[in-house]
Structure 1
Amino acid sequence: MSVSPELRDADAAFLARIEAMLGKGGVAPAEPRYLEEPRGRYIGRAAAVLRPSGTAEVQEIVRACAEARVALVPYSGGTGLVGGQVMAEGPLPVLLSTERMHAVRDIDLIDDVLVAEAGVILADAQAAAREAGRLFPLSLASEGSARIGGLLATNAGGVNVVRYGNARALCLGIEAVMADGSLLSDLTRLHKNNMGFDLRDLLIGSEGTLGIICAASLKLFPAPVETATGWIALDTPARALELFGLARERLGSAIEAFELVGAQGIAFLGEKLPGVTVPKSAATPWYVLAEVADGAGSDVPARFEAMLAEALERGTIEDVLIAQNVAQRAAFWTVREQIPEANRLIGSISSHDISVPRSRLVEFIERGGAAIHAIDPSLRINCFGHIGDGNLHYNVFPPAGRSRDDFEPVRGRVKEAVHDLAHALGGSVSAEHGIGRLKTGDMTRYADPGRLAAMQAIKRALDPRGILNPGAVLP
């Protein structure tokens, strides 16, 4: 949906009214850190950053914005990669930051639930669960700054989706403020609740366009006692899928993560982050970082080693290093987690967060490479991601010594080639990062018309004045 022509600038009088509501510290200048998204593709605008300390203050802010017809852009950790947190055009909005709403309200070890406010940083939620002897399994590279509200609003994925699911699967209930300032109070701890429409699932993944998530009840799991992590060298993505199939047969639900890493990603680390220690395995075109975990007595490490020995004997893999201690495990994961940072430092021409059925992954990688090199054979492709759930980060870079700006004329063709292929193979052009403002055109091009019409109708019904994150998600 386009920005409503009835929206107005957030002027001095409006900000004075909000400041009177929130008091000292509740209104802050719109500093650059709030207005720049990580890839530098968008620079936003805002009259101010509103910093409520609780849900009641969010309600007051939303009511005031609805009355004055001022656009409200939710801001969580600022780590989103599709421009959903920055509004570059239209009437001057305000940002609503959840950074002061950072309480873990409750941890219940009978229900296995952690109730967290929207501004809780993911790493802090993980730590709170760990201190209670439990696991909150959502894990991704930006967990030191990403916040719970934004993670739910974008339905974040991460490395453990293969076992635990996306953010949506980890949330039992939500507290949210709707576009008229009313409160949706549904912090349920129930695993079964069929009382009508699931408004929790409607708000999760809506990127702040339907309501402002203020708190959530999150699922906890038993903390794993036995863990094993392997850095595995192999020749092709087909071999990686073969290994995943064998691992599922031998280890079942103990598989927590199964990450594909290309040699180009390793080369980028050497180019931009030489301090990152890469495991000294055989040099192959592809690698897998696999982790398995389970409870006491599961004998997971021995079963993992036996599975890998079988894979070596079959010729599925070329080499493997198994982490011998916590430090080595952390070093393996540092390699995977620093690849996005190396990508950022090099500067991609076009980055893609796609998913396809696992049965089409190999075809996508083969055909994708051919399509990109037909545009320009000098382009470099860094393909990596969560092969266990079919989600690849397929990013295209200039050759060494050239800038992404040199290739701006072909950026649209690169994106279209990758997205057209993912769509043709029954996949999605947004696997875990959301739509934001970057991919609204893709919604028009690829979304089922009936689905898109239903989404637009829901937006009109729940946000008739169009004040919540206008211009995001819907074209």
Structure 2
Amino acid sequence: MNQLQQPGHDHSSAYLIRRLQELLGPAGVITEASEQEPYLRDWLGKWHGKVSVVVRPANTEETAAVVQLCHATHTPIVTQGGNTGMSGGATPDDSGAQVILSTTRMNRIREVDPVNNTITVDAGVILAHAQEAARQAERYFPLSLGAEGSCTVGGNLATNAGGIAVLRFGNMRELALGLEVVLPDGRIWNGLRGLRKDNTGYDLRDLFIGSEGTLGVITGAVLKLFAQPHARATAWVGAASLQQLVSLLTRVRARCGERLVAFEMMSARSLELVLEHVSDTRAPLESKTAYNALIELSDTEDTGLQAMLEDVLGQALEEELISDAMFTSNQSQTAALWKIREGISQAQVRAGKAIKHDIALPISALPLFVAQAEQALADSGMTTDLINFGHLGDGNLHFNVLLPASTEYEAMKSATAAFNRLIHDLVINFNGSISAEHGVGQLRRDELKHYKSPLEMELMLRIKQAFDPNHIMNPGKLL
């Protein structure tokens, strides 16, 4: 039993379900096994659990009522948004004692304030719908990731999601101004303030962002909006080494400033995997290169972005910093490049079983880290199919290892432990992090204790104890 888990009190599931049905009505309670199944399994197929009931409250008040009941009965709660996570943070265990609280019925766009540049939404709003609501008000919400058509704002906040625009706009933490949260005892904390300055004590908002549902249920948020970009310039480049791409990043940043929105990296093997397993994709460059980068500039108006990007990359070509470049001339070509970048997760699922690493390092350390990691894997004698890609502009690598689809569970488990220890030890040597944007969940929970200092773990456990003394909020995750 995890150190934060406690046996539940002797309240029958029948009593609990009856009370939940009284609180939420038929639309808010799912008891049929076939209807529960999509909530019980993560989309990667790595984790599967069991519950007696899935609840779908329609608003904050119903959420509070559910949490109050669970608090009174010591029933553990697993909060779930779009169920698109990478770390098993929203999947229940197999005890059957937990309740899944799905936020998907809480999907209101509460307010768009174009003067204050904010949007207030329910936690269950799908990310793409928040983006569209901003667009209709001639504003821009910049969080963008492959699952934006199904992931929810609440899940994005719970994991402090990143995505492709972090280089310019920051993670979800930087994009959130205020939160509304149902606390573990059912009380509602209303922190929905659209303020950019609020120096009145401890920042409670930041405690809940990235806490993965272990401190409360996020039910609403005030998010930052920006001026809608009306001009873009996009290019795909090839280089012989990762160091060359890092040098190019420095040069593009110096020349283009805040217009640089994305600088995405894919190794040759990553690109090859997508071309093999994702339909309607083709290699952007004629010749194969060891590393590739997808670069995008944007601005509120066309200030010569295309010429600017062509100029800086042209100089890089002349100096042989890069070996080739392809510029898009229309939206269709741009979308085709982004389909390649965003198709890696899908390609890995189709190609085999991936041991995923979501790591962050100082950008300057990336080339040396990759060289040492590749050498360490070679020295270990492990057979590896490395899939190295990520958000080069913010130092976030997905340094993955792909195993055959036929790999048995025990072999996968053993390989994962060996790979993780080797890679994560090296990450810590470079003052990096073993979790950059996917969260800890149950995937990295035990490793967190190994890599965090005893003092950091003690402080996090104290915070958990203060907010959730009955340990009912997403037990077995994060801590």
TM-score when normalising by structure 2:
0.96
Matches within 5 A, 1:213-362: 213-362=218-367
Cα distance in 2, alignment partners of residues 445 and 36 from structure 1: 27
Cα distance in 2, alignment partners of residues 101 and 377 from structure 1: 47
The answer on whether the counterparts of 1:9 and 1:91 sit within 8 Å (CA) in structure 2 is no
Match among 97, 103, 113 for residue 98 of structure 1: 103
The answer on whether the counterparts of 1:349 and 1:407 sit within 8 Å (CA) in structure 2 is no
Aligned to 2:126: 121
Q: After superposition, what is the alpha-carbon deviation per residue over 1:101-123, rounded to whole angstroms, capped at 9, x for unaligned?
A: 00101101100001110111001
The answer on whether the counterparts of 1:281 and 1:321 sit within 8 Å (CA) in structure 2 is no
Change (3 A) 1:7 1:320: farther
**CA positional deviation for 1:402:** 5.9
Cα distance in 2, alignment partners of residues 191 and 453 from structure 1: 31
Q: After superposition, what is the alpha-carbon deviation per residue over 1:341-363, rounded to whole angstroms, capped at 9, x for unaligned?
A: 10112233421100111111011
* Structure 2 letter corresponding to 1:330: A
Match among 11, 17, 31 for residue 13 of structure 2: 11
Unaligned runs of 5+ in 2: none
The CA RMSD measured in Å over matched residues stands at 1.5
SS at match of 1:289: strand
Change (3 A) 1:352 1:21: same
**CA positional deviation for 1:28:** 1.1
Cα distance in 1, alignment partners of residues 427 and 408 from structure 2: 23
Compare 413-422 and 298-307 and name the one that shifted more: 298-307
Cα distance in 2, alignment partners of residues 281 and 77 from structure 1: 39
**CA positional deviation for 1:90:** 4.4
Cα distance in 2, alignment partners of residues 372 and 15 from structure 1: 51
Aligned to 1:41: 46
Cα distance in 2, alignment partners of residues 40 and 419 from structure 1: 24
* Structure 2 letter corresponding to 1:113: T
Q: Establish whether residue 135 from structure 1 lines up as the match of residue 140 from structure 2.
A: yes
Change (3 A) 1:6 1:33: closer
Unaligned runs of 5+ in 1: none
Compare 405-414 and 136-145 and name the one that shifted more: 405-414
SS at match of 1:149: helix
Cα distance in 2, alignment partners of residues 258 and 349 from structure 1: 24
Cα distance in 1, alignment partners of residues 12 and 198 from structure 2: 41
Match among 22, 25, 31 for residue 23 of structure 1: 25
Match among 155, 165, 168 for residue 163 of structure 1: 168
The answer on whether the counterparts of 1:10 and 1:94 sit within 8 Å (CA) in structure 2 is no
SS at match of 1:411: helix
Match among 64, 72, 90 for residue 85 of structure 1: 90
The percentage of counterpart residues that share the same residue type is 38
Change (3 A) 1:250 1:43: same
Cα distance in 2, alignment partners of residues 349 and 110 from structure 1: 45
**CA positional deviation for 1:376:** 3.6
Aligned to 2:420: 415
TM-score when normalising by structure 1:
0.96
Cα distance in 1, alignment partners of residues 344 and 468 from structure 2: 39
Q: After superposition, what is the alpha-carbon deviation per residue over 1:312-348, rounded to whole angstroms, capped at 9, x for unaligned?
A: 1111111111110011100000000011110112233
Cα distance in 1, alignment partners of residues 354 and 12 from structure 2: 35
SS at match of 1:25: helix
Change (3 A) 1:141 1:304: same
The answer on whether the counterparts of 1:398 and 1:404 sit within 8 Å (CA) in structure 2 is no
Question: Alignment length, in residue pairs?
Answer: 473
The answer on whether the counterparts of 1:72 and 1:96 sit within 8 Å (CA) in structure 2 is yes
SS at match of 1:354: strand
Cα distance in 2, alignment partners of residues 374 and 415 from structure 1: 15
Compare 361-370 and 293-302 and name the one that shifted more: 293-302
The answer on whether the counterparts of 1:156 and 1:433 sit within 8 Å (CA) in structure 2 is yes
The answer on whether the counterparts of 1:262 and 1:285 sit within 8 Å (CA) in structure 2 is yes
Q: After superposition, what is the alpha-carbon deviation per residue over 1:193-223, rounded to whole angstroms, capped at 9, x for unaligned?
A: 0111111111000000001000100000001
The answer on whether the counterparts of 1:348 and 1:395 sit within 8 Å (CA) in structure 2 is no
